[in-house]
Structure 1
Amino acid sequence: MMRRFWLGLLLAIIVGVFYTWLNAPEWLENWNEENQVMVEQQRQAGLAAGAQTDQSGCLAEALQRVESCKGSEYRCTVDGGTFFKACWENSQASEGLCVAVPPYHDTATEEDKAWVKEQCTELGLLAKGCRFIMRQQQQLCSATRVAN
């Protein structure tokens, strides 16, 4: 009796795994489409906000968005980063915003990590998205310095 139970359970698991494997491409395709729509919405919101504010305003709004976001950490970080980049690119420059920002490195140095952590701590922000936004600020400020 017990042997039949385990064989039945094993068969159910195998069928479930096989069914999931067959449907995985459809699930992934749907997720990618939904993700692209959400990213584009955040990009459009960032562009609109950027037209109404300067880079400091974009930074403040992006940080507020990641801190108050109720979605998953991944979703909040992606949305906040997408919003910030689009806003920054469409906003007026903020005098002095990049002065104390260290240069961006593709692989964060210990100094980069310390600066990012210090910025989020000073602002009283706990969301991990804050660190991502600060790294983006480093990258955007470095790109601005190179362009000027």
Structure 2
Amino acid sequence: MIKKIIWALILLSGIGFYLWAEFAGDDWLEAFNAERQQAAAEFFAKGEEQGRVKTDAACFDDAIGQIAECLSISCTVDAGQYLRGCWGVAERAESFCDGVPEFQQEKSEEEKEWARFACYDLNSRGDGCRLLMRQKQQHCATQ
């Protein structure tokens, strides 16, 4: 009897999800994408504003602080947008890129280890930190 109830709930959930996806999914996705684009633009602009009075190292510290407060992927994306804006106008800190491995399209084990230990040193152990470290590599490669 319990198995029949569970299967009925699974079937009803599946039908409910299908109906939602068919009739409301596109609207939800469109609204979500618009919201994320607006957030990205706002974080980029905030980064540009802050970058006018900061160094690239200070921009990076700000972004690490942002992801420390929020561990979701959207916070990491927002911090990345902030960095792009900030680094676009910030002055270069003299030693910011010291010890940063050369950027490569395919990450090496050395790069992964560098990012992991750099994040440990920053007391930021989430995936967001390693993604920001990857951005740091790209930034330093273009300097």
TM-score normalised according to structure 1 size: 0.83
**4+ residue runs over 4 A deviation:** 9-13
Q: How many Å apart are 1:54 and its aligned residue? A: 0.6
SS in 1 for 2:142: helix
Say if 1:55 and 1:94, in contact at 8 Å, map to a contact too: yes
Do structure 1's residue 48 and structure 2's residue 49 form an aligned pair? yes
- The 1:51/1:11 distance shift into structure 2, 3 A limit, reads closer
Residue 79 of structure 1: aligned partner: 78
Residue 116 of structure 1: aligned partner: 115
Residue 104 of structure 1: aligned partner: 103
Q: How many Å apart are 1:18 and its aligned residue? A: 2.8
Residue 38 of structure 2: aligned partner: 37
Please tell me whether Structure 1 or Structure 2 has the larger radius of gyration of its CA atoms: 1
Of 41-50 and 91-100, the range deviating more from structure 2: 91-100
Say if 2:116 and 2:125, in contact at 8 Å, map to a contact too: no
Post-superposition CA distance 1:42-97 (Å, at most 9, x none): 1011001101111111111111111112xx52111101111112111110111121
Residue 127 of structure 2: aligned partner: 128
Instruction: Give structure 2 stretches of 5+ with no counterpart.
Output: none
Residue 57 of structure 1: aligned partner: 58
2 CA distance for matches of 1:15 and 1:76? 30
Say if 1:56 and 1:94, in contact at 8 Å, map to a contact too: yes
- The 1:17/1:116 distance shift into structure 2, 3 A limit, reads same
- The 1:18/1:105 distance shift into structure 2, 3 A limit, reads same
In angstroms, what is the RMSD of aligned CA positions?
A: 2.2
Q: How many Å apart are 1:12 and its aligned residue? A: 7.8
Say if 1:101 and 1:138, in contact at 8 Å, map to a contact too: yes
AA of the residue aligned to 2:132 = I
AA of the residue aligned to 1:120 = C
2 CA distance for matches of 1:68 and 1:11? 38
Q: Percent of counterpart pairs with the same letter?
A: 30
SS in 1 for 2:98: coil
